Structure 1
Amino acid sequence: MAALEDADIAMRRDVAHALGHAPSPGAEAALARRLQAEGDAGVRESILTALARIATSDAAAALVPFLDREDAALRNAALESLQQMPAEVAAPALLPLLDHGDADLRIFAVQGLGSLLHASRADWLARVMERDADVNVCLAAVEALAEAGSPEALSSLETLARRFPEDAFVAFAVDTARSSFRGG
């Protein structure tokens, strides 16, 4: 794993690729440390792919801090890597973010959870619509539910509409989701 710090870009990329196929103990932490410092897009991609392929709770936990980065490309790539992991691995890493003080992190958590194929997905997103104080976080949950086709959350949509009665975009989003659940 020391080769992750090699000056040669191709070497770092190859080592990340190899760790994704045959991870050694501590690979997740080593890959995350390298990702933090890595400037080459190809090596970053190899590291993110390796972490997604390793798909352990440690790999998921290693990606979460990157959701709070100013670098939008890295932030989005970290979210995509989490979304590629099995739901039972990614969800425990994302769920605590629903209670984070930063609305942007809550939105990323909603986006990540909304893409997971998990029996509790609609419940998680419904809870957001019913309780989150930030309208943008709630709207992200509406979008995720609509994309997932989760009509079981209709009552939560109604709750959201009542929580933000003066917000025209909430009314529009709720109507659109309602319509999509009803097939039109």
Structure 2
Amino acid sequence: MSQERSTPEGINMEEHALRFRPLPRPKTRGFDRASIGITPVMQKRKPPEVRNALRERRVAAKQKDARYHAEVALRKYNRANNTKFELVEVKVISIFYEFGGAGAHYNFTAKQPEDQQNADADSTKLFFSEVDLYFRSENDVIMCCIVGENDAGRCYGCENYQPVVHPSSQAYGGGSSTCIEHPGSDGDSDSD
């Protein structure tokens, strides 16, 4: 096991794909009213103040979840590497859907407790973590590691969103697939 990783260097992609929980089925609201002749009624749109308040609550809940995920990932990293980093700030969150499930990549900063007195930017480390989006426990932290300025791993899941710094070694598994397999396709291209 690497000194700066909580997961092994080589990762089996098939096993990794099985780590993601499948997406939950959408909840149905009873029967289809249109099929029995009842026309659907559009709901009245809420006023902007109410919509903004709801949006702010969703953002606050997402930030709270992200902080919790980062704290648990950091706790797993500390246990694996016998260190005592403490979370400073969650920087970037990227959610991706792959293998029939969902995952999240985070960048966050952390310091060792003895470095807390020093406000020096050099004592703060940037971390990368990958978690199952339907996070329940520490077992859903797939990996957590320190990343540096020279790390520039490629992730197709985060490509079109905010820039998340990924480790250069392909130790993380989510976001590595570029193809979308549709039912009934064998994955072969006719243009070969």
Structures share a fold, TM > 0.5? no
Higher helix fraction: Structure 1 or Structure 2? 1
Question: Could you state the TM-score of these two structures normalised by the residue count of structure 2?
Answer: 0.22
Question: Could you state the TM-score of these two structures normalised by the residue count of structure 1?
Answer: 0.22
Which structure has the higher relative contact order (CA within 8 Å, separation 6+)? 2
Higher strand fraction: Structure 1 or Structure 2? 2
Rg: which structure is higher?
2
